[in-house]
Amino acid sequence: MQINPLKGFYILTQTGYVVCYATTEANNPNQMAQFLIDTSWDGFRVERVNIPWVPKLWLGKEELNDLHVPKEYVLGAPGKGREYLFEGLVPERISIAIMSLAQCWGSVAHAAIYANLREQFNQEILKFQGVGFLLSDLWAQTTNLSLGMLKFCQAYDEKVEKFGGDMEIPGNIQQAMVASASQLKYQSAKLSKDVCYEAGNLMGGAGLCDNTLMHDYINISRIQEIVGGSRQIQQYIMSRALRTLYKMSGI
């Protein structure tokens, strides 16, 4: 199959392969196909896109021109690509949400350790309300969202096991899971941005220098609302879910 032209972005890896999606008809997602591409093939070009907040991340901008994909590298025929793409959306968004929560926990842990070790006026700064109360609030929000995340993951795993796979889950349940995944991704990314910044701020100058991981947490939290579907995309999915619920109510 010939692919031409196509532009996109992906995270650079050391495997030498990427998974690509393309349609046989312009602007028709129902004709989407899925391919495995060897990055050494003629017609495949990629260059790194630098993101200042996360210099350790290697994001590639790819261009495909007259790229020939052998039949055995077609993972999903036209019409199947979209199905395969959406099959992984819920786990993808949940994995991003879990990463956001991991950043929250890392930031809270750093700030808690610092606030217990750092002394001012002959006492630990944790004992000052301006520090201790804010830190306890960050801790509470992170804990509560983590418990909700664990419950969702448990319910999702049960549904996958019960129905024999992600794509075998009944449509109405799948729709609810998609909406919940968007809610969790949206809330956890937003929380990560706030928790990482506030925790770093509580540490003063120690939260800015590179002798702890706080600067990494703060920088990574800046992009969490973008990756895996931006904030607005998640809000759009949630608003459509509200519309669906309204229709189902019969009001």
Contact (Cβ atoms closer than 8 angstroms) between residue 218 and residue 196: yes
* Rounded CA separation 35/126 (Å): 54
Predicted local distance difference test score (pLDDT) of residue 125: 93
* Rounded CA separation 100/234 (Å): 15
Domain with CATH 1.20.140.10 in the chain: 88-249
Instruction: Quote the percentage of the chain above a pLDDT of 70.
Output: 94
Domain with CATH 2.40.110.10 in the chain: 2-83
Q: What CATH class has 88-249? A: mainly alpha
Q: 2-83 is classed in which CATH architecture?
A: Beta Barrel (2.40)
* Rounded CA separation 107/247 (Å): 42
Mean pLDDT over 215-242 rounds to 87
Token pair listed for 52: 């200042």
Residue 60, pLDDT > 80, answer no
pLDDT band at 16 (very low <50, low <70, confident <90, very high): confident
Token pair listed for 117: 């070790």
* Rounded CA separation 87/243 (Å): 23
